[in-house]
Amino acid sequence: MSRRELRPPVLSRRVLEWAGRRLQTPELADDAGELFVARAGNDGDRAARRWYRRQARASVGRVLFPRGAQIRWRGARARLRAAPGRWRRCAPRHTRLLEMIVHDLHQAQRSLTARPGWTVAVLLTLSLGIGASSAVYSVVDAVVLRPLPYEEPERLRVLTGWDVERQRELRPLELSYPAWEDLRHRQDVFERLGAYAPTWRVLTDGVTTEPVSAAVLSASMLQVLGVEPRLGRGFAPADDEPGAASVVILSHGAWQRRFAGDPQVLGRDILVNHEPHRIVGVMPEGFAFPDPTRELWLSLKTLPRGSGSFLTVVGRLAPDVTTERAAARLATLEIDDGGNRRITARTTSLQAHTVGDVDRLLFLLLGAVGVVLLIAAVNVGGLMMSRAISRRAEQRIRRALGASRAHLARAALVESALIAAAGSIGGLLLAVWFTDAMLSLRAETLPRQGEIGLHPRVLLFTGLAALGLALAAGIAPFLDSRGGSGGGRALTRARGSDGGRVSSLRRSAPVVAQIALTTVLLFGAGLLLRSLSEMLDLARGFERDGVVILQTRLPQERYPEHADKRALYDEIEERLTATPSVTSMALANRQPYLMMRVHQGVDVERASGESERAVVEVLVVSAGFFEALRVPVLEGRLLRPTEPQPAVVINRTMARTYWPEDTAIGKRIRSRIDPRRDDAPPATVVGIVADTRWGDLEPDPAPQVYFPYDHRHNGDMAAFLRVQPGATAEAIATTRELLRDIDPAIAVSELRTLDDRLARQIADPRFRSALLGTFAVMALVLTFFGIFGVVWYTVAASTRELGVRKALGAHPARLLRTVLRRAGGLALAGVSLGGIGAWWAAHLLEAYLFEVRPHDPWTFCAVAALVAATAIGAALPPAWRAARVDPMVVLDDS
Amino acid sequence: MGQGEHLGEFEALVLTAVIRVGQKANGMAVYQEIEERSGREASLPAIHVTLRRLEEKGLLASVVGDTSPRGGRPRRFYRPTPAGVRALREFRAMWRNVWKGLELPDPETLS
């Protein structure tokens, strides 16, 4: 036997040492240790350990009850059952309280497991309410409420502009390099000013080239934020100078992903935009400035010095300068933005700037989930109350046997606490899962999402929510048990119609409130869902099935001219269409679904022969574009690969707007794509095609002009690949491989189906409607059980009355109708109240609606019908029970 | 010991054990003695607390011995005071009186 392993259990030893100190018997632990060794020799290790633990437990009892009233858990309960009154009088006070609580806990557990259906209903309600609200709160807390993870974040301000003449705010204020330099030297309210510009770069690692999200930072920027790199250094003023060596700072994520967290990464060179940059620093985990997508930070050196840079300025207020004083000082400081506007600076907090307008949506969701929580509370209260009535006789017997009101209250409280504790655990598990689900719905566009998690404040929130629910649950039965006095009516049954008007109101008011709140939520969710379906159904004018979009970023120095790019695109097309998965390829200068329209001015020749300036949506497309996207031609012809004369195609809206009576074919349009070539020859309209909605979600199509892709266009083009049905994945893989083969320096910034692209465009609306829809469904389910519980309760409470009516000849169908009518009345009242609430709440959603009016009557009717059906459905089982009441119950024991 | 104050059952048990163990009566030895005699598991903390209380009542006296062989803290050894022995005698006399001439019925015959 190895003596070394023979040690008493650590925790118990600590307990014994502690007890020894408290009892002033210092040798206790030593003695116990020696006896432990002796015991292990005789009875074996396990028995010795058990003995040791028993001794430790006994010592706790000694400390807690020094006067000798030993706490014997089981024995106490038995004694209590045998003679509660006598025992309570003779036991010391504190022993009594603890034993009572143990007793109550046991009692609670027994009574909960005795009614599994009821318990599951309560726990589910609690978990749903707590889980959903904790999840939403954890997002709100991380994104909106918690201060930014910088040093003294409340002193950080972002500059916005103020157009003095037009009295208009310019947000964001983006400064050119000279303006930034000028402002930096003239201001005196900030301790330090920093500037940044979000950008993107392509990163080459020898095998592949991919675009990465980056940001240019001034040397002072990290100091303004008060963040130190985890490895290496930040930018120094010397790095900003035009002749300085190219340096780069990595994000923690990029360091982990691309360099496997190699601590020797400093000093290595990486190819950024095909030029070597030296890695000088790695930022700590969680540094997400200006947003979490950034993988690299570059010095100001990389920006052009002239007017072509767009810097956002962040400042740290000097210690003695208030926001107001800063505003007053900045109002006198004019900024030279290169134009001829008079602009002064204003400031907004970095927090507000980072969060943007997502806070409104999040608070809206928090409100919605708060409603769910409220319904859950009402529901749990209702469930508790309905149980209280079924236990009324039991309570009366207990009171008759001498249980005080305080005792019964404590028992109820212990039971509520037990339920609340179990519900919170379920709720927390649900919250973790729910938060993940929420983030996956809106993974790309939510700011500060890296900070979301079960923060202590979230746990506090959960605790408070659970406490509120426990109180609601614990108090509800008392509203009911107030009437039951002492032993007088102890053993008689609950009286037939014991409620009367007041109690009936007390029971229906929560149900009506639930129905009303659910109606409001459902109406909101209905509006958002209708908007979403309008967006999806919006006739785009082109066929997106079976189309893959490919956006490349070409290295400018290898493909400087149109002819170089053209040759490359031709090669890609030739080789791709030779593969079995791709049938055709077309080009356009812009991707669809970019949430913006690019409007340009063109000169159109009206029927009268006059030239008129028109602002239209301009697209530059290759000849195969219309076939590839199945845009039908309505009149004339499509563009050809080579046009001898300048030619354009317009859409129907354009033709109707500018040539309403005459045909547009043969009319002339002069492009202003390149302002330096204003003398470009006017192009002739050769064809009219159907309208497409290429950019933003706008219900009305814009007038469009399609210019052919020719030597005047030297930008990167988006390619549209029409693929064989079912070969999408294969086409994407082939394309990626092919591009790497043609030129590894080509970065692919987008290669996905048009469907995926659309899904990203509607990510926000989908997020809103999915969440609000989920909450509304939760509310509906909870309300269903709420109505069910209350009607069941009412039926149970009026069994005698129903029995009498039946004995007097009432038809079962009539009783059924009576109960259903009552439920219908509740539903009507709830829906009416909810309608008023919905009318008001719809305005909150107005900004999120698309093609649906906030007071859409159809949505409201559908919601009202759904709620009414739910109410009737929930009332059916109890109504059925009412109809089948046995008249014998009246005779029974009355 | 104040007049009219009687030994409790457990106190008497502990006091007897101290006398039986003799010279080496510390908490551990008393525990082993009680367990052996009564055939039941005792509570070590209860024994310690009782030893201390008996000492407070003046029924036991104690001296601190040498450091224990294990290297723990020094042991405290108890011996009975005259008052302690007197109290135990009283306790024994009381129980003798209680038992004198008493025939216990056979439990099986009681319903």
Whether A58 has its CB under 8 Å from any CB of chain B: the answer is yes
**CA A665, CA A143: separation in Å to the nearest integer?**
55
Neighbours of B95 (CB within 10 A): 12
Q: Are strands A334-335 and A247-250 parallel, antiparallel or unpaired?
A: unpaired
Dihedral sign from CA coordinates of A753, A755, A761, A767: negative
Nearest chain A CA: its distance from B66 CA (Å): 13
Is the entire prediction scored with pTM above 0.80?
no
In chain A, what residues touch B72 (CB-CB under 8 Å)?
27, 30, 33
Given A31, A58, A62, which is nearest B28 (Cβ)?
A31
- Residues in chain A, pLDDT under 50: 1-4, 68-77, 80, 83-91, 481-502, 894
What does the angle CA A754 – CA A758 – CA A762 come to, to the nearest 5 degrees? 170
What domains sit in chain B, N to C, each tagged with a CATH number?
9-100 (1.10.10.10)
Quick check: B48 and A31 CB within 8 A? yes
Helix (H, G, I), strand (E, B) or coil at A107: helix
Residue of B nearest to A22 (CA): B49
Q: Which pLDDT tens digit goes with each residue over A335-373?
A: 776 666 678 888 888 888 888 878 888 888 898 998 888
Q: What does the pLDDT read at residue A93? A: 53
Please report the number of interchain residue pairs, chain A to chain B, with beta-carbon separation below 8 angstroms. Answer: 64
Quick check: A31 and B26 CB within 8 A? yes
Q: Which pLDDT tens digit goes with each residue over A228-249?
A: 999 999 999 888 888 888 999 9
The b/e string for A653-689 (b: 16+ C-beta within 10 A; e otherwise) is bbbebbbeeeebbebebbbebeeeeeeeebbbbbbbb
Neighbours of A308 (CB within 10 A): 10
Nearest chain B CA: its distance from A25 CA (Å): 6
How far is CA A87 from each of CA A79, A81, A82, A286, A630, rounded to the nearest angstrom?
Answer: 7, 9, 9, 61, 90
Quick check: A28 and B45 CB within 8 A? yes
Enumerate the domain spans of chain A: 1-64, 165-341, 358-488+501-535+763-891, 547-760
Q: How confident is the model at residue B72 (pLDDT cuts 50, 70, 90)?
A: low
Given B49, B70, B73, which is nearest A23 (Cβ)?
B49
Dihedral sign from CA coordinates of B39, B45, B47, B48: positive
Q: What does the pLDDT read at residue A71? A: 41
Instruction: Sort A746 into a burial class: Cβ within 10 Å, 0-12 / 13-18 / 19+.
Output: buried
Mutate to test the interface with B, among A16, A17, A21, A25 (most CBs of B within 10 A): A25
Q: What does the pLDDT read at residue A88? A: 46
Neighbours of A351 (CB within 10 A): 20
Whether A332 has its CB under 8 Å from any CB of chain B: the answer is no
Nearest chain B CA: its distance from A102 CA (Å): 22
What one-character-per-residue DSSP string does A114-136 give?
H-HHHHHHHHHHHHHHHHHHHHH
Which positions 22-61 of B are in contact with A (Cβ < 8 Å)? 26-28, 31-32, 41, 43-46, 48-49, 51-52
Locate A110 and state its tokens.
């027994």
Q: What does the pLDDT read at residue A235? A: 92
